[in-house]
């Protein structure tokens, strides 16, 4: 698989990464351990070298899983993880105090079974801790050799600029896809100006862009999509227009809707590296194949024109989480 470069410090990763959250957290019951390890190792065998985790996924279990799965080839891959929530639990609010960041770094190193964290993201901007202080703490960790690169997640333009002035930001991880294009307004131009990579999470719209979800779909009891307005029955029905558009283009390209959605992202900017997650080997292989799909300028214009006729319905986060994004 082709490689891409994140940030001016030139972190080289595969053009697609693997978002590992769903193996342990967020989308219903956790995947059985050996099946999850098999999937992660299959991803590596197929050319993926970029794996994304966080202390909050589980909490803690995802990092342990990744540490075990990647052990045989740890030196050949890039591992990203995150700090920023009280006791590693998003429901308890943010905590990016310097002492907490240091504690997370030490504990993540042990769970990941590694000597260095390749990319250390602040999971959400903490309104109670100046972003310059956060960046300074990570800068110290980089100088100590415990971290290699600094990242932010769902941060706004002002926070990105302030952090970058203290410690160069290698990547911003934020939601970006055919059904959430808000980053195109200010975020992507800022990243391009500063030389920061973009790592889109939920590049398949939390599964919606695969075409496998409709208004009749029932999610597991502990699937967080049950709380997302965009996934209520009425909005799922309204948003089928986007899925139908993708399906039509996919048919023309002899591809799947998911592959077109990922290929579209890869064609936006050379510094964009999506991290689709999955728990199924056949979906992993499907996603990986998207890196080989070529979309012409005509194809991209056709998608753009069709998207102008579609108004995606529903907020992407429940109201209680909205105040944690874009700060």
Q: Is the pLDDT of residue 322 over 80?
A: no
Tell me which DSSP letter residue 229 carries.
G
Tell me the pLDDT tens digit for each residue of 174-221: 999 999 999 999 999 999 999 999 999 999 999 999 999 999 999 999
The verdict on whether 57 is a catalytic residue reads yes
Which position has the token pair 């990319």?
119
Tell me the pLDDT tens digit for each residue of 295-307: 999 999 999 998 9
Q: Quick count: other Cβ atoms within 10 Å of Cβ 137?
A: 26
Tell me the pLDDT tens digit for each residue of 13-44: 999 999 999 999 999 899 999 999 999 999 99
Residue 150 forms beta bridges with which residues? 120, 169
Cβ atoms of 149 and 170 closer than 8 Å: yes
Q: Is the pLDDT of residue 248 over 90?
A: yes
Structural domains in the chain, sorted by start: 3-205+265-293 (3.20.20.100)
pLDDT at 154: 97
Cβ atoms of 133 and 163 closer than 8 Å: no
pLDDT at 319: 76
Most confident of 159-163, 219-223, 308-312: 159-163
Residue 81 forms beta bridges with which residues? 120
Least Cα distance to 198 among 187, 209, 185 occurs for 187
CA 140 to chain centroid, in Å, comes to 25
Residue 268 CA to residue 281 CA, distance in Å, equals 27
Q: Is the pLDDT of residue 244 over 90?
A: yes
User: Going by C-beta distance under 8 Å and a sequence separation of 6 or more, which residues neighbour residue 321?
Assistant: none
Residue 105 CA to residue 83 CA, distance in Å, equals 8
The 3-state DSSP composition of the chain as helix, strand, coil percent (nearest 5) reads 50, 15, 35
pLDDT at 278: 97
Selected catalytic residue, list 27, 44, 57, 121: 57
Which tokens is 224 given? 């967080």
Least Cα distance to 42 among 72, 22, 15, 4 occurs for 72
């Amino acid at each position: 698989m082709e490689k891409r470069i994140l940030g001016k410090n030139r972190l080289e990763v595969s053009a697609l990464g693997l978002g590992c959250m769903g193996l342990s957290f967020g989308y219903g019951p956790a995947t059985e351990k050996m099946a999850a390890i098999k999937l992660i190792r299959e991803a590596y065998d197929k050319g993926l070298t970029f794996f994304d985790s966080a202390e909050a996924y589980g909490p803690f279990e995802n990092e342990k899983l990744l540490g075990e799965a990647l052990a045989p080839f740890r030196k050949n891959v890039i591992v990203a993880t995150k700090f920023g929530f009280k006791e590693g639990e998003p429901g308890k609010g943010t905590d990016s105090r310097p002492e907490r960041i240091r504690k997370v770094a030490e504990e993540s190193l042990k769970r990941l079974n590694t000597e260095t964290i390749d990319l250390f993201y602040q999971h959400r901007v903490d309104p109670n801790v100046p972003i310059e202080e956060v960046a300074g703490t990570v800068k110290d960790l980089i100088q100590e050799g415990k971290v290699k690169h600094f990242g932010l997640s769902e941060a706004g333009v002002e926070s990105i600029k302030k952090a970058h002035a203290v410690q160069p930001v290698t990547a911003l991880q934020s939601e970006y896809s055919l059904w959430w294009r808000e980053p195109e307004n200010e975020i992507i131009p800022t990243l391009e100006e500063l030389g920061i990579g973009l790592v889109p999470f939920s590049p398949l719209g939390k599964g919606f862009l695969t075409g496998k979800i409709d208004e009749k779909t029932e999610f597991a009891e502990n699937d967080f999509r049950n709380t997302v307005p965009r996934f209520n029955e009425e909005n799922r029905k309204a948003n089928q227009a986007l899925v139908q558009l993708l399906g039509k283009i996919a048919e023309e390209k002899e591809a799947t809707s998911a592959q077109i959605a990922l290929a579209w992202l890869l064609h936006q900017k050379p510094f964009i590296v999506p991290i689709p997650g999955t728990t199924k080997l056949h979906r992993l292989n499907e996603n990986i194949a998207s890196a080989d799909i070529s979309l012409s300028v005509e194809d991209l214009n056709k998608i753009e024109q069709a998207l102008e006729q579609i108004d995606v319905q529903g907020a992407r986060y429940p109201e209680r989480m909205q105040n944690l994004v874009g700060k």
